[in-house]
Amino acid sequence: MKLTWEGLKNRQAWEQAGIALPSYDAEAVAEKTKKAPIWVHMGIGNIFRIFIGGIADQLLEKGLMDRGITCVEVFDYDMVDKIYDPYDNLVLSVTLHGDGTTDKKVLGSLSEAVKALPSESAQWERTKEIFRDPGLQMVSLTITEKGYALKRADGTYFDFIKADIENGPEKAASAMAVVAAMLLERYQNGKAPLALVSMDNCSKNGQNFRNAVLEMAEEWKKRGFVGEDFLAYIKDESQVSFPWTMIDKITPRPSEKIADELEKDGVESMQPVITSKSTYIAPFVNAEGPQYLVIEDSFPNGRPAMEKTEGAGVYLTDRDTVNKSERMKVTVCLNPIHTALGPYGCVLGYELFSDEMKDPQMLELAHRVGYVEGMEVVPDPGILSPKKFLDELIDERFPNPYLGDTTQRLCVDVSQGIGIRFGETIKFYMEKYGDAKRLTAIPVAIAGWLRYLLAVDDEGNRFELAPDPMVPEMQEQMAGIVVGDASSLKGQLKGILSNENIFAVDLYQAGVGEKIEEIFREEIEGPGAVRKTLKKYLA
């Protein structure tokens, strides 16, 4: 059985393998989508394919939408060549339940895959053509937090952003430049309205997205590429909106074990591939069942009826409710626990996060970060109970052994999110109590991340760090620190812990900088020092 339009015609074989197929004609939907796109998505990796693609699949099944999603890649172009084109853009969704059972379904809702790449003229022109269509309603994104960043920690533009600013819209390379360039194309061809929807784990993601696009456009205006009227178009939220969102679905990298099982059941060519940008991706996507997507209902050109999906966890609401939901997840319940435990998991030798959740010190750290220090500041969005949300995470989702979620994945790009995940709580304590000295679990978590950056585990063995754009800079600042020699710590952390671009606050002004230094000092004393320190502070 091949995961292609032609391969799906043998429906009986797929059904015998326990794999559900679309009730609609995916090929016909694709043709209609190409003629009149309504929904573009950028950042076409795993969580998009199973979660957002699954929402669109439901809408197509119910007859609530007659076109699929147009997939536009802005970074890892290999995905189009290796995962989309060979499989006619089909996705095999594998939902992993805590009891070991799985639900498998082919999704036919991803109708076209395009590279927003100026050097490939046909692909670039097709991207423009899509954005010129007045019927296009929304552009959603899952490009991770770093995709919206224009500047380094020191406030200067990244080199690739400087290139985009100087080269102008026709040679846009970064995600924010591509979005701005495509908005210009739309503006020049009728000024049709559009919603630009970040679905990434960023605090106030819609605001951050809007600011980044506007900054790019303003830099282009300074250089004569665009006029003030184009900026006015972007600034007018009745024309171009940037709805805020909260998204939640744990989506680990594709499992080779699942690939083997699918091939055993007769599905051909299911093995994962690694792209040139180090994305681990496969024709299938495996993920947990629970999922949440809370969206500000601000769509000036209309939108799909996403809230009419069943069990998809989609809520259309107002900005304040979205903000509270996002803060609940990103600053208290989920992401802070991932960020606290991921680095320690690597240092303590855990590969799977579910195994780490059995560790008494790690479980205590999770409880303190969430229930103790976080719950005091958590906003209640009303549509979701913070305590029930956290209970589900601690009791069901995090311990799910069938997810195969790794501690290494939880360490990807920590520098880009640690300020959001801990900084908001620290600032709350400063506002309420004058400082954050009463915090312990969060300082332990930050010290653990710094200890992880030394790339030496608690037994003294070296390990590989997960991708993170600030690792070289951080390691340079930490030069001279030696595991096994606590006296080698001689102020190297000062510049890091006082950096508000990293932590959203000067941690010394918050009253926890010295505490973090002391915890870190104890953790580098020698083999077993990390475990000993955790027992001391989490007793």
Could you count the other beta carbons within 10 Å of the beta carbon of residue 151?
13
Query: Which parts of 195-247 fold into alpha helices (H)?
Result: 205-222, 228-235
Half-sphere exposure at residue 103, Cβ-oriented, CA atoms within 13 angstroms: 11
3-state secondary structure 368-426: HHHHHHHCCCCCCCCCCCHHHHHHHHHHHHCCCCCCCCECCHHHCCHHHHHHHHHHHHH
| The pLDDT of residue 154 | 83
CA distance 58 to 414: 33
Give me the helix-helix angle, 175-188 and 228-235, nearest 10°.
100
Give me the helix-helix angle, 175-188 and 121-132, nearest 10°.
60
CB contact set of 430 (below 8 Å; sequence gap of 6+): 436, 505, 509, 510, 511
**Quick one: DSSP state of residue 226?**
S
Check if the beta carbon of residue 130 is closer than 8 Å to that of residue 70.
Answer: yes
Q: What would the two tokens of residue 151 be?
A: 């500047």
Q: Are strands 19-20 and 69-73 parallel, antiparallel or unpaired?
A: unpaired
Nearest to 316 by CA among 324, 307, 325: 307
Name residue 123's amino acid.
Q
Q: What would the two tokens of residue 259 be?
A: 């690939």
Q: What is the residue-level pLDDT of the chain in tens, covering all 539 positions? A: 999 999 999 999 999 999 999 999 999 999 999 999 999 999 999 999 999 999 999 999 999 999 999 999 999 999 999 999 999 999 999 999 989 999 999 999 999 999 999 999 999 999 999 999 999 999 999 999 889 999 987 889 999 999 999 999 999 999 999 999 999 999 999 999 999 999 998 878 999 999 999 999 999 999 999 999 999 999 999 999 999 999 999 999 999 999 999 999 999 999 999 999 989 999 999 999 999 999 999 999 999 999 999 889 999 999 999 999 998 998 999 999 999 999 999 999 999 999 999 999 999 999 999 999 999 999 899 999 999 999 999 999 999 999 989 999 999 999 988 998 999 999 999 999 999 999 999 999 999 999 999 999 999 999 999 999 899 999 999 999 999 999 999 999 999 999 998 999 999 999 999 999 999 999 999 999 999 999 999 98
Nearest to 178 by CA among 202, 221, 209, 223: 209
Q: What would the two tokens of residue 219 be?
A: 């830099």
Backbone angles phi, psi at 488, to 5 degrees: -75, -10
Nearest to 199 by CA among 80, 26, 55, 414: 55
CA distance 267 to 269: 7
Specify the 3-state DSSP secondary structure of 235: helix
